Structure 1
Amino acid sequence: MSVSGSELKSALRKTEFPFCAREALSRVAMLLHFVPEQLTQNTGRPPSIKHLDLAMDLMAEFIFCEVERRGGKRKKLTCIQELQLLEVLCDYFSFRGVNNDSTCNTVFMSLFPPTNMERCRFLAKLVSMAISTKNTPVLSATGIWMQQLGCTSKVSMELVRGLVKDYFVLVPKAVSVLQDLPQLAPHFTANFLTAVADMYGSEDKKNVTNPPPNALLEIITRWIAENPTLCAAALNAAPMVVTSVGAHSTPVTPFVGLFKWCILAPVLGWEEDSTHQYWRLQLALLESTLEQPCEGAVSARHLGQMLITPLLSASCHSRNRKCQQLALDRLAQAIQVLMAQNAIVGNTQELLSQLELLPENRLLSLVIKKHKVITIV
C-alpha cells in the first residue's frame, strides 16, 4: 500500500461511521489481495503477516467498531449502526461478487473468524438479510464459509439455528421467501441442509430427539423434489482458496442426515403430526440419489453411526411392530439406492454386518443378501 498503517488509521478516524467501514472494507480487500502465481491454478502467494495484522486491526476498529483508538473495548453497535453495516457488507459483496474471486472469499472468512462468536451472531443477521434481498454473492460466500469450518461445527450450527428461528419459528409466514433459495445459492442451501439435518436428527441434552418444524420439513421436501442435484451441490462446488484461515473441510452432503429423519420418524412418533410428509421427503431423496452422479457422497461409517445405531437403541423397540418395520423398510430403500449409485465409500462389508444386527425385515434382508453376494464375487 502507498500509505503506512498509522497514516491509514489516522485518515479513517476522521471519517464517520458507516463511511469509515466502507472505506476500511476496501482497504482490507487490498491488504488481503491474493496474488496468483499461475492464472490457470487456484494457488498463489498469500498476503504478508504485516498486511494480515493491519487488516485485522482495520476490521476491529473501523468495520465492527469493537475497539477504540488505544485498543480499549467500545460499546456495541446500535441497531441503526448494525443496519448500516449490514448494508455496507451486502453492497460490497454484491459489487465485487464472489464466484472466481479468492480475495472476496478471503475477506469474508477474515471478517467472520470462528473464534469471534459476536461476529458470527452478526453473520446470522447478514445472511438473513441476504436471503430476504436475494443477495447471491453473500449467500455463496457463506456457503464456502460453512464448508471451510465444517457444516456441523459450533459456529455453523449457531448460524443455522438463527436462520431457523427467523424463518420457521418467529415468523413462519416468511418461509415463502426461501422457495427459490436452491436456484439462488445451491452451495449455501446444501450446506444449510447438512447442518439443519444434524440439528434435528440428534439427541439434545435431555436425550430427546426433537422433530423439525413442519414448515421446515415442507420447504426442504419441496427444495429436493424440485432440485434433484441440490444434495450433491457441496461435492460439485469448488470453493476458492482461503489463505489465512486453514485447509478446506471435506465436503459433507445432507443425504444421511435427512434419510435419518425419514427412517426414525415412525419409531419416534414424528409422523403423527406430519402425515405423509416424511414419506414424501424419503421419495425425494431416493429420486435425487438416482438422478445424478453422487459417487462418494456418504461414508459407510457415517451411515452406521447415524442410521443403524439409533435403530438398535431400546427406544426404537418400544413402539409397535408396524412402525418398526416401516423404519426398516425405509432404511433398506436408502441403502439399496446408495449402494447402487456407488455413493457409499468405506467398509461396506462392515456396514452390511451392522445391518444384520437389526430386527428381521424382509426388504432389508434382500438388500444385505444382494450386496454381500456382489462384494464377495
Structure 2
Amino acid sequence: MQSFHGQDLSERTRSALRRLEMCFSDSSSATASIPGLGGASEEQAAQIVDEHIFCQPPNADAVYYKLWFQKLSAIQELVILETLVDFYKNQTNESLCNSVFKTMFHAGMYDGRKELLYRLVSMAVGVECSHLLNSAAVWMQMQSCSSDVVVQLMKTLVHDYCHLLGGVESPLRRLPALSAHFTCNFITALCRSPGVANKPGITNDLLELFTEWILADPKLCLVSLSHSQNALLQPQRTTLWTSPTKPNTQTPVPGLVRCCLLGSLTDHRSGADGRCHSAPLWSKLHVALLQTICAFPSLPGAAQLELITLVDMQRIVMEVTEHIQKVAAPVNQDVTYRLLQVLQVALATGAFRCSLVDLRGIFKQIPPNRLLKILECQHLSSVPPQMHNVSVCRPLDLATS
C-alpha cells in the first residue's frame, strides 16, 4: 500500500520511528525523553505517531479513524506490527523505548489502535522481544494494571497462548526470562480482573504456571515495586502508598493471596465427591506466596512500602471468613491456618502495617484457634509497625475497591 508521501507502509513506519528517535533524543531539552514534560517535543512526537505510523490525518474524528482501521488488511496490519517489533529488537535505549511506546498508546486512544496494541504485545511474546515487553510493562503500570485496556490486553494473551497455543510449549512459560517486569504486571492484571469473585479469570493451568514462576523466583511478584522509581512513573508515584485505605494494585500479591484462600474453599464446595482435587496446587501456591512475603524486606525501600495494605487485608479476611462458614472441617480449619500464616509472616516482615485497633478488629473476625491466640499474644500487647499515622479505617466498601 502506498503511503501519503509515496513510501510503502513499511518504509513509512521506519521513517517515522527514526524521526521519533531524533525527537526524543533532542539534547536541547533535558526533559524531552519524558512524556508529559517534553513540551514541543512531546507534541511533535504525538503528531508523528498519529500521522505517519497510524496514518491518522490531523483532527480526524472517531468515525474516520474507525473506518480507516476497517480498511486495513491483515497484511497491512502485519507490516506495521513487524516494523514496530524490528524497531524494538534493534533498540537498546530503554528510555527511548518507553517514550515511544507511551506516545503510540496514550490514554483515550481509539478502539482500532487498541486492537493493534493487543496484537503487537502478543507478537512480542511470540517472537520473544524483551525490549518491547519491558516498555509494555512500564506502560501497564502507568495505566494501572486494573484498567480496562490492560485487563483486556492480558485476556488477549491468555486467549492466544493458553487457549490457542496451550500446553508445555506455550511461549508464556518463558515469559519471566523475557521480562520479569511484564510477567509481574501480567499476573497483577489477571488478579485484578473485575467481576469474578474467587478465581479472577484464571484457570488452574495458569495458576500452576504462576506457582512455577514464583517458586523459581520468589521476588518475581515484587519486580513492579522496584520499577516504581522509573521516570515515566514518577507522576503516579505519589498515589501508590499514600493511604492504607487504598488497595495495592502494583503487585499481584494481595490478589494471589485472596485467590489462593478462596479458591481452595470454592473447589472443595464444587467438587462432585466433596473433595478438593486441586488441594496440592493451592498448597504449593500458598508456600510460594509466603516465600515472596519473606523476600519483601530485601526489596530496596521496603520500609517505605506496603505489600499488603490495610484495605487489602480487610477484604481478604472478610471474604475468607464468610466462605469458611460454608465449608466443613478440616478444609475450613486448613484455610483459617493459611490465612493466619499470611498474617503472621506479613506482620513479621513489615509487609503489612496497621494500627493496634485495626489489627484487633481483624483478629476478631477470624475463627478462634491456637495460632490465633499466639498471634494475639505477640501483636496485641504492643503497637505493630505502622506506616501511616492515620485513624481507624471504616469497614471496607467493596463497591469502591
**Range class of TM-score, shorter chain:** 0.7 to 0.9
Question: Match of 2:264?
Answer: 266
Question: Match of 2:347?
Answer: 339
> How far apart, in 2, do the equivalents of 1:348 and 1:184 lie?
43
Q: CA deviation at 1:360?
A: 2.3
Residues 97 and 12 of structure 1: is their aligned pair in 2 closer, same or farther, counting only changes over 3 Å? farther
1:166 corresponds to which of 155, 160, 179? 160
What SS does the corresponding residue of 2:366 show, helix, strand or coil?
coil
Question: Match of 2:98?
Answer: 105
Residues 181 and 23 of structure 1: is their aligned pair in 2 closer, same or farther, counting only changes over 3 Å? same
2:373 corresponds to which of 361, 365, 368? 365
> How far apart, in 1, do the equivalents of 2:263 and 2:78 lie?
40
> How far apart, in 1, do the equivalents of 2:360 and 2:14 lie?
56
Task: Output the aligned Cα RMSD.
Answer: 3.2
Residues 164 and 186 of structure 1: is their aligned pair in 2 closer, same or farther, counting only changes over 3 Å? same
> How far apart, in 2, do the equivalents of 1:106 and 1:123 lie?
15
For residues 308-347 of structure 1, what are the structure 2 equivalents within 5 Å? 308-313=317-322, 315-347=323-355
Number of positions where the alignment pairs a residue of Structure 1 with one of Structure 2: 357
Question: Match of 2:90?
Answer: 95
For residues 139-158 of structure 1, what are the structure 2 equivalents within 5 Å? 139-158=133-152
Structure 2 regions of 5+ residues with no counterpart? 241-248, 269-274, 386-401
Question: Match of 2:395?
Answer: none
Q: CA deviation at 1:161?
A: 1.3
The answer to whether the 8 A contact 1:128-1:163 is kept is yes
What SS does the corresponding residue of 2:218 show, helix, strand or coil?
coil
1:162-220 deviation per Cα after TM superposition (whole angstroms, max 9, x unaligned): 11121222332276322232222111111111111222xx643xx67566212201110
Q: CA deviation at 1:349?
A: 4.3
> How far apart, in 1, do the equivalents of 2:49 and 2:329 lie?
59
1:285-342 deviation per Cα after TM superposition (whole angstroms, max 9, x unaligned): 11222245243342432333441121243x5422223222222111111111111111
For residues 283-298 of structure 1, what are the structure 2 equivalents within 5 Å? 283-292=287-296, 293-294=298-299, 295=302, 296-298=305-307
1:97-146 deviation per Cα after TM superposition (whole angstroms, max 9, x unaligned): 353x2x32111101011311432332221111111211110010011001
In structure 2, give the amino acid aligned to 1:265: G
The answer to whether the 8 A contact 2:154-2:189 is kept is yes
Structure 1 regions of 5+ residues with no counterpart? 1-10
For residues 13-28 of structure 1, what are the structure 2 equivalents within 5 Å? 13-28=5-20
The answer to whether the 8 A contact 2:162-2:170 is kept is no
Q: Which moved more, 1:273-282 or 1:287-296?
A: 287-296
Residues 348 and 253 of structure 1: is their aligned pair in 2 closer, same or farther, counting only changes over 3 Å? farther
Q: CA deviation at 1:36?
A: 8.3
1:303 corresponds to which of 304, 308, 312? 312
In structure 2, give the amino acid aligned to 1:17: L
Residues 35 and 147 of structure 1: is their aligned pair in 2 closer, same or farther, counting only changes over 3 Å? farther
Residues 299 and 278 of structure 1: is their aligned pair in 2 closer, same or farther, counting only changes over 3 Å? closer
What SS does the corresponding residue of 1:276 show, helix, strand or coil?
helix
> How far apart, in 2, do the equivalents of 1:308 and 1:368 lie?
16
The answer to whether the 8 A contact 1:301-1:351 is kept is no
Question: Match of 1:135?
Answer: 129
For residues 52-131 of structure 1, what are the structure 2 equivalents within 5 Å? 52-67=42-57, 72-73=64-65, 74-76=67-69, 77-99=72-94, 101=95, 103-116=96-109, 117-131=111-125
In structure 2, give the amino acid aligned to 1:65: C
Q: TM-score, normalised by structure 1?
A: 0.83
> How far apart, in 1, do the equivalents of 2:143 and 2:35 lie?
21
Q: CA deviation at 1:254?
A: 1.3
> How far apart, in 2, do the equivalents of 1:112 and 1:44 lie?
12
Q: CA deviation at 1:226?
A: 0.5
The answer to whether the 8 A contact 1:131-1:177 is kept is yes
> How far apart, in 1, do the equivalents of 2:314 and 2:361 lie?
13
Q: TM-score, normalised by structure 2?
A: 0.78
